[in-house]
Amino acid sequence: MNTVTNNTDFLLAIENLTVSFDGFKAVNDLNLYVDENEIHVIIGPNGAGKTTVLDLICGRTKATDGSIKFRNRELTEMREHEIVREGVGRKFQNPSIYEDLTVFENLEISFPRGRSVFGALAFKRDAEVIDRVHEIAAMVFLKELLDTQAAFLSHGQKQWLEIGMLLIQDPELLMLDEPVAGMSVSERKQTAKLLNEITKGRSVMVVEHDMKFVEDIAHRVTVLHQGKILSEGSMAKVQADPKVIDVYLGH
Amino acid sequence: MTNVKSFMARQDILALLILAAVLFVVMPMSMDIFRLNLFGKYLTYAFVAIGLVLCWGKGGILSLGQGVFFGLGGYCMAMYLKLESSTPEATAIQSTPGIPDFMDWNQITELPWFWEPFNSLTFTLVAILVVPALFAFVIGAAMFKRRVGGVYFAIITQAIAAILTILIIGQQGYTGGVNGITDLRTLKGWDIRTDEAKYILYYVNGALLIGVLVLCQFVLQSKLGRLLVALRDKEDRVRFSGYDVANFKIFVFCFAAVLSAIGGAMFTLQVGFMSPSFVGIVPSIEMVIFCAVGGRLSIFGAVYGTLLVNWAKTTFSETFPELWLFGLGALFIAVVLVFPNGLSGLYRSYLAPHVDRWIFRKPPAGGFTGAGPLDTPAFEPEPAARPAE
Ligand SMILES: Nc1ncnc2c1ncn2[C@@H]1O[C@H](COP(=O)(O)OP(=O)(O)O)[C@@H](O)[C@H]1O
Ligand SMILES: [Mg+2]
């Protein structure tokens, strides 16, 4: 499929990646590359292994075989928080925020400073932190809600908050699992705009079902099916691929 | 904006002042030394309950084995005091004078090596803090690094409490067995059994408690305090925000262990003995109930909860000893089902708004205050988080 190289110019290079759950290969000998400043969308039917790929990259699931190189550094041997510190941020499929804390506190906790126990004890809410929280909150449409307890946000706002919590870490690779699931049409539009904005200077991997949304944002699309790549390329190319139409889009 | 901050700080200071007034003025003036000493004993459990607020209430780590750390602190103190009262002169009638009496009864003829350092008060004081911290560290590292949590962790801590109790009872010659270490008399020659000593120890205990509360307030107001709440809520999100989650759990577990040990040491000093009945499963669970009744999210609530439950225990078990355990069980169920945030939750919902109005002459702070739909207390919103109002 792709030529296998050892040191790549890609931001992220996944090669021969396999994970097997009790013999069932949820991801099967996968090769996938993400360029700098690229919005790379992964689509595919339910159970295709999309979430599992993100889990493998961020260290939540350990690979059975293969390699994941981020800036030519092997991620499969690192622990989750180390991968985050390398510059990989991951949003979960269900909004995963701290409901008992305010929007401000949610963002503040995600600010990449004072991540050790004693660092956290000594952490000061200084001007840098406050400015950054305000800046990110404005980006994710939550400026007016900084003081609101996160439990009281709408579903869409929770999704945005989680995206904001990742943005404040300024990751080089941002992975979003179904970011617009459960959002209203206008919220989807806002989110598409947001993604186009935040991709400046970073790469984004998005798992998504909503084809309209994918068309709006994708630079490149990978179609996953039974843990393998079915098709890859521009949205137009993928949509025209008979294999894809057969297993996925045709439904 | 600044007045919001001072308002929050003032509310905590108010809680602290009220508690200090209760501990240092109201209780000593309204009780004889016997009752005061009894309440001093209850207050030693409050150290455990406060630790549980941080560990369980905030961090979501339920330990059903805090009696272990209470006991470790208490036994360290008791070993020192026992050695001091086991001078060769005082124990001249023993077959081996100069060792604790229970050792002599168990045909032990030489002070065991691990008792030796407890001849030093400095060592003892350090050990009271370090031994439980190390033990908690080992347990915490073994459990949390392997991602053992929730119910499994609770069960394991309970098992450890049971094992330690069995060990203490079984090793009678080294530990005093089921009777514990009794007949403690002096601390550096100062007789701890006199009324005067009991008064002084009560005040020392109270001062330590206030100090611990201030320290906990500091921890809770730091980012670490908010991280604990975040951890309880969405552990994975914390992990994938670049934190090594296990380290935070180990820290708060060790911290709670050290607080419990301070309580245990003060218990030994005030009550004059230490025994395995404060180490095992039942006391460990009782301590969780003290914390739950007071409100597992409030360090001040935990103190009042401890006092209230223990006062009730003493009162009821004097009159209806056989009913007390049922009463305690019923109380726990009531707390869990009806008022999950205990006394402090009730205070926040019903009294705090009035207190804010009357004492601070301010409307309740904007945004989220008091108990919300999730019935969680307000996590002090800090001024910076507020847009200009
Ligand atoms: N931890 C796991 N253990 C066993 N099976 C799993 C695990 N995680 C995912 N799977 C299986 O792997 C397949 C791919 O799942 P997933 O990556 O969640 O699909 P999706 O493309 O819908 O996100 C599914 O069949 C799922 O049941
Ligand atoms: Mg999925």
The Å distance, Cα A74 to ligand 2 centre, comes to 24
Burial class (CB in 10 A: 0-12, 13-18, 19+), A152: middle
Torsion of CA B150, B153, B156, B161, to 10 degrees: -100
Question: In the prediction, which pLDDT does B362 show?
Answer: 60
Ligand 1 atom 23: residue of nearest CA? A51
- Write out the residues surrounding ion ligand 2, Cβ under 5 A: A 51
In a domain, B338, yes or no: yes
The Å distance, Cα A19 to ligand 2 centre, comes to 15
Choose the mutation target among B147, B239, B240, B368 for the interface with A, i.e. most A CBs under 10 Å.
B240
For residue A44, which atom of ligand 1 is closest to its CA?
Answer: 21
Which is nearest to B41 in space by CA: B211, B198, B226? B198
What is the residue-wise DSSP string for A92-147?
-SS----TTSBHHHHHHHHSSS--SHHHHHH----HHHHHHHHHHHHHTT-GGGTT
Chain B residue with minimum CA distance to A130? B384
Give the ligand at the shortest distance from the Cα of A48.
1
Q: Which of B242, B366, B385 sits opposite A146 (nearest CB)?
A: B385
The Å distance, Cα A47 to ligand 1 centre, comes to 6
Q: What is the CATH number of domain A12-95+168-249?
A: 3.40.50.300
For residue A22, which atom of ligand 1 is closest to its CA?
Answer: 4
Mean pLDDT of A109-118: 96
Predicted-assembly ipTM surpassing the 0.95 threshold = no
Bridge pairing between strands A12-21 and A65-70 = antiparallel
Residue range A8-19, pLDDT digits in tens = 689 999 999 999
Task: Verify whether the Cβ–Cβ distance B385 to A151 is below 8 Å.
Answer: no
Nearest CA to CA, how far is B339 from chain A (Å)?
A: 18
In this predicted structure, the answer to whether residue A7 has a pLDDT above a threshold of 90 is: no
Mean pLDDT of A102-110: 97
Question: In the prediction, which pLDDT does A251 show?
Answer: 53
- Residue A180 CB-half CA count within 13 A: 24
Flag residues of chain B having pLDDT under 70.
1-9, 360-389
The tokens for A232 are 């890859």
For residue A46, which atom of ligand 1 is closest to its CA?
Answer: 22
Total domains present in chain B: 1
Ligand 1 atom 26: residue of nearest CA? A47
Mean pLDDT of A93-106: 95
Q: Which residue is it, tokens 């262990």?
A: B257
Task: Verify whether the Cβ–Cβ distance B242 to A169 is below 8 Å.
Answer: yes
For residue A227, which atom of ligand 1 is closest to its CA?
Answer: 14
Residues of A in contact with B216 (CB under 8 A): none
What's the rounded Cα separation, in Å, for the pair B373 and B377?
10
In a domain, B387, yes or no: no
In a domain, B383, yes or no: no
Ligand 1 atom 10: residue of nearest CA? A26
Pocket test for ligand 1, best of A41, A46, A51 (most atoms within 8 A of CB): A51
Choose the mutation target among B1, B215, B223 for the interface with A, i.e. most A CBs under 10 Å.
B223
Domain that holds residue B194: 2-373
In this predicted structure, the answer to whether residue A216 has a pLDDT above a threshold of 70 is: yes
- Sheet hosting strand A12-21, strand order edge to edge: A24-34, A12-21, A65-70, A73-74
Please list, residue by residue across B327-341, b when 16 or more beta carbons sit within 10 angstroms of its beta carbon and e when fewer do: ebeebbeebeeebeb
B146 touches chain A (CB under 8 A): no
Ligand 1 atom 11: residue of nearest CA? A26
Q: Is B172 left (phi over 0), alpha (psi -120 to 50) or beta?
A: alpha
Which is nearest to B228 in space by CA: B253, B248, B207, B208? B248
Task: Verify whether the Cβ–Cβ distance A89 to B240 is below 8 Å.
Answer: yes
Residue A224 bridge partners (DSSP): A229
Torsion of CA B11, B16, B21, B27, to 10 degrees: 130
In a domain, B243, yes or no: yes
In a domain, B149, yes or no: yes
DSSP state of B274: B
B1 touches chain A (CB under 8 A): no
Percent above pLDDT 70 for chain A: 96
Q: Which amino acid is at A138?
A: A
The Å distance, Cα A32 to ligand 2 centre, comes to 17
Residue range A153-207, pLDDT digits in tens = 999 999 999 999 999 999 999 999 999 888 899 999 999 899 888 888 899 999 9
Mean pLDDT taken over chain A: 92
In this predicted structure, the answer to whether residue A55 has a pLDDT above a threshold of 90 is: yes
Give the ligand at the shortest distance from the Cα of A50.
1
Orientation of helix B281-294 relative to helix B150-170, angle to 10°: 140
Pocket test for ligand 1, best of A17, A18, A21 (most atoms within 8 A of CB): A21
In a domain, B148, yes or no: yes
Task: Verify whether the Cβ–Cβ distance A98 to B233 is below 8 Å.
Answer: yes
The Å distance, Cα A26 to ligand 1 centre, comes to 6
Q: Which amino acid is at A65?
A: D
Give the ligand at the shortest distance from the Cα of A56.
1
Confidence of residue A212 (pLDDT cuts 50, 70, 90): confident
Which residues have CB under 6 Å of ligand 1?
A: A 21, 26, 44, 46-52
Question: In the prediction, which pLDDT does A6 show?
Answer: 59
Q: How far is CA A203 from CA A50, A174, A200, A231, B218, in A?
A: 17, 6, 8, 20, 40
Question: In the prediction, which pLDDT does B221 show?
Answer: 92
Give the ligand at the shortest distance from the Cα of A25.
1
In a domain, B98, yes or no: yes
Question: In the prediction, which pLDDT does B367 show?
Answer: 40
